[in-house]
Amino acid sequence: MVTVAWTARIPSAEAMERLGERLAAALQPGDWIALTGPLGAGKTTLVRGLARGLGFRGRVASPTFTLVHVYRGRLPLYHLDLYRLEGEDALRDVVDPGEMEAAGAVVVEWADRAPRWIPADALWLDLAVDPAGDGRRVAARAGGDRARRLAAHLAHRADPAVEPAAGAIPAGPGAAGPGSPGGEAGRPATGKDEGRR
Ligand SMILES: Nc1ncnc2c1ncn2[C@@H]1O[C@H](COP(=O)(O)OP(=O)(O)OP(=O)(O)O)[C@@H](O)[C@H]1O
Ligand SMILES: [Mg+2]
């Protein structure tokens, strides 16, 4: 059963990166983190924190022309961005999930574009622009024991800058429906080249 395990308000990009760093401390080979949220929700910022937390010091940016980047720290972190994905079949030809999870952890932006490809035990983190300000909201959903362990780590290692949020973001891949935070109207400037899409 998938449960919303934890929600928080993340007030700044720095706090978002710290959230990733904290989560990295609990990562083990075979862990999957599936990220959802609209353009500019902070997904890559969170991945940057994960990579930093694993000790990787190089550049962290979404893979656009290659489908996957690997950041080699305490364990390898495989970073995928499925924004441009056209059908889950395209993924099957390019990346081998078994190879990635045997060696390291996997984090996937726009994971809701290939929900059946993501292992059932992934930790889903749904990101959204906070309707009450410039910050973001993050809701963790855990589908199995691995994911619950990661969610528990997030919940128990509080960061003073992270405020627990009462209202959960609607759960489920592609669940951002009418009235949900972070829709088109709430889209922030991403500072990114939209042309890459
Ligand atoms: N918690 C936060 N509060 C305020 N700003 C944030 C927060 N997290 C990230 N940002 C800022 O939001 C902008 C977009 O972040 P980011 O590129 O990580 O989003 P994204 O979800 O990966 O977008 P895309 O879908 O285009 O890949 C950046 O300028 C980043 O610094
Ligand atoms: Mg991104």
Structure tokens at 150: 């990661």
105: pLDDT strictly greater than 70? yes
Does the beta carbon of 43 sit less than 6 angstroms from any atom of ligand 1?
yes
Contacts of 99 (CB under 8 A, 6+ apart): none
pLDDT value of residue 164: 62
List alpha helices for 66-144, DSSP H: 88-94, 97-103
42: pLDDT strictly greater than 60? yes
Mean pLDDT highest for which of 44-53, 58-67, 110-119? 44-53
Distance 133 CA to ligand 1 centre (A): 14
Does the beta carbon of 13 sit less than 6 angstroms from any atom of ligand 1?
yes
Q: Which helix (H) or strand (E) holds 19?
A: helix 13-24
Structure tokens at 148: 């619950």
Are 50 and 21 in contact, with CB atoms under 8 Å apart? yes
pLDDT value of residue 141: 95
Closest C-alpha to 34, from 159, 121, 163: 121
Q: Which domains, and CATH codes, for the chain? A: 3-167 (3.40.50.300)
187: pLDDT strictly greater than 60? no
Does the beta carbon of 12 sit less than 6 angstroms from any atom of ligand 1?
yes
pTM for this prediction: 0.84
Average pLDDT, the chain: 83
Ligand 1, from 22, 39, 45: best to mutate by most atoms within 8 Å of Cβ? 45
> Atom 15 (ligand 1): residue with closest C-alpha?
42
Residue 130: phi and psi, rounded to 5, are -70, 120
